[in-house]
A and B are shown apart, each in its own frame.
Chain A
Amino acid sequence: MTNAVIFPIAIPLTTAVILMFCVKSLKAQKMISLVSAGVLIAAGAWLVRLVDHEGMQKLDVGNWPAPFGITLVSDMLSALLVLTTSMIALACLLYSFFTIDSKQASMYYYVFFQFLIVGVNGAFTTGDIFNLFVFYEVMLMSSYALLVHGGTKIQLQETMKYMVINVFSSALFVIAVGYLYAVTGTLNMAHLAVRISQADNTAVLTVICLLFLIVFGLKGALFPFYVWMPGAYSAPPSAVLALFGGLLTKVGVYSILRTFSLIFRQDVGYTHTILAWLAIATVVFGVIGAVAYRDMRQIAIYNIVAAVGVMAFGISLMTEESMEGTIFYLLQDMVMKTALFFIVGAIAYVAGTNQLGRFSGLLGSYPLLSWTVFLSALALSGIPPFSGFIGKALIIRAAFEKGQLLFALVVLLSSLLVLYSVMKIFIQSCWGEARGYEQKRVAPLYVPIVALLSLAVLYGVGAEFVRPYIAQAAATLADPSMYIESVLKE
């Protein structure tokens, strides 16, 4: 069917518009959001199947042929990311039902939620660099609204900082697109790739490539551009934070992955070495932060930074194996970071604080919650049967093959420190004598937590089942000619 690619964008968009008409009835809003999230997952799964059976899907919006109109492209990578996004959206929606109070939820909360999903799915699907910018803005505007939603003092403070840094990076994005357009004369990604491979003035292109690295680094929290993140992510409620932690930075990582594998291949030796150094610095600073803090939220936030570093390092290696590892790790990290923020949110709700050491002994009263912390620690650090293992293993193997022993060792060591940082949450909050918390009803929160964790466990155990899809996605990244041909063919 012609329009298969549009559904992951059109479904949340339609839902958002419909929700605007029934802001008065919270019950109707919840029902509509829930149905739409279910339909979105079905659409994502259908798209993955379609790409698997019939190859890459593209849609020339408005029936204008490829380099002249906007083209939406769904290769296996986009389709998998869209499917993961829709699953995370459903889980966050369920978590929001139980944690966002009704006064706040009735102020267009679910509308902004849906618009955020529109932005993320659009950014994953688009094949046009300026359209990517537009979807970034859709995503960011909704994230501003969700971040400040509720209007507490800390939220106002941090939204101000978050907005300033993102307005700056968006302006830089436009400037970089302007330069790129001036040099190549096109905005379509596939056409850009062709023009750049024929260009003789590669020095200018390398500068533009680094500008894009700064832009996407600011969005995706690479060192030294991650400084906005610990503050901004400490402000919003857990449901919003889980959505941000699962999706926003990963769009930045995806953009780096797409542009560095498809468009900027003119001087790989220089640009990708810079990316590798930034990635390793990101890993190092991420784990330092994760080990240093006693605040559960900050530990989880610095875990995101460390994971972004690992993925960026995988991208910088540019072999098919490392791409495969990066995609494996990217998908599991989206799910696991969302789950981690859910768990941290549930513990903070029970204990009334994010600070470790003020409470302990959750294991007695909340055995299920405690064991999910334990399980997520194993999955995040990459203990073999769980989901984090294969991705990191592939990345490290690719690094050894390329002879980057030092960097590979840093990534290995970072796993240990990530394990330590999450185990610290487990040991200090779950073990010991029971003190510092109250008996509260958290049963409904288990639904999204257990759903995401079992998804992550199945993903790790059933890696053989997932692997063909991921190999297919990695093959397109390693060999961009497939992408280019299928977009520009008539």
Chain B
Amino acid sequence: MNELILRTVTAVVTFMIILFGIQLFFAGHYYPGGGFIAGLVTAGAIILLLLAFDIKTVRSMIPISYRTLIGIGLLFALGTGLGGLLFDVPFLTHAHGHVMLPLLGDVSLHTAVLFDLGVYLVVVGVTMTIIETIGEDE
């Protein structure tokens, strides 16, 4: 079956969905959003790719092991927590401040973003592991 229309639309729309996911992720502290919903939206984009193409093609497009992604995500979340131990403050105490970066100027940074990044990676990893495992099952 010719899926030209679906595939062309997918090629355009996937990037928009991923950008929307990134926007949701970074907006999380001041507006509705955050790691969980951003992870789901990103996984949604990859699932759209899976609908338009087959599993092997999508794997070659995004050569990531999603199970490892879960591990990396947990490591981020755990690392931000255990970072507190180095400074002898309670577990999961976050640090924040304004940092002058070249090009970007004055940016307010917070270690909670790293925790959120962990959540994001775990959500993407778990969702994609579930979908791919069920999809491959005969």
Contact = CB atoms under 8 A, between A and B. Distances in A.
Interface in B42-70: 67-68, 70
Interface stretch (A59-67, A220-228, A449-457): A59-67
A2 B85 CA distance: 8
Contact of A10 (B71, B88, B91): B91
B68 A62 contact: no
A59 B90 contact: yes
A62 B93 contact: yes
A63 B75 contact: no
B78 A13 contact: yes
A471 to B, nearest CB: 30
Interface string B64-90: 000110110011001001101100111
Contact of A2 (B74, B75, B78, B89): B89
B89 to A, nearest CB: 6
Interface in A13-29: 13-14, 16-17, 20-21, 23
B92 A61 contact: yes
A53 to B, nearest CB: 19
Contacts of A14: 78, 82
A384 B86 CA distance: 49
Nearest to A1: B88
Contacts of B68: 20-21
Which range holds the interface residue count of chain A? 10 to 19
Given A1-B88, A3-B84, A17-B78, A62 B71 contact: no
Contacts of A59: 90-91
B7 interface: no
A62 B90 contact: yes
Say whether chain A's binding surface is mostly helix, strand, loop, or mixed.
helix
Contact of A3 (B74, B78, B90): B90
Contacts of A2: 88-90
B89 A20 contact: no
Greatest chain A CB density within 10 A among B70, B84, B94 is at: B84
B118 to A, nearest CB: 10
A19 to B, nearest CB: 9
B78 A63 contact: no
B67 A20 contact: yes
Nearest to A9: B91
Greatest chain B CB density within 10 A among A3, A10, A16, A59 is at: A3
Contacts of B84: 3
A61 B71 CA distance: 23
A25 to B, nearest CB: 15
Nearest to B89: A63
A47 to B, nearest CB: 14
A139 interface: no
Contacts of B93: 62-63
A63 B95 CA distance: 11
A63 B71 contact: no
B96 to A, nearest CB: 12
B75 to A, nearest CB: 6
B74 A20 contact: yes
Given A3-B84, A13-B78, A21 B71 contact: yes
Interface in B104-136: none
B87 to A, nearest CB: 10
A481 to B, nearest CB: 24
A394 interface: no
A6 interface: yes
Nearest to B73: A17
Contacts of A6: 85, 91
A17 B90 contact: no
A3 B85 contact: yes
B70 A60 contact: no
Contacts of B67: 20, 23
A375 B90 CA distance: 45
Contact of A20 (B71, B81, B88): B71
B2 to A, nearest CB: 40
Interface of B: 67-68, 70-71, 74-75, 78, 81-82, 84-85, 88-94
23 contacts: A2-B89, A3-B84, A3-B85, A3-B88, A3-B90, A10-B81, A10-B82, A10-B91, A13-B78, A14-B78, A14-B82, A16-B74, A17-B74, A20-B68, A20-B74, A59-B90, A59-B91, A61-B90, A61-B91, A62-B90, A62-B91, A62-B92, A63-B89
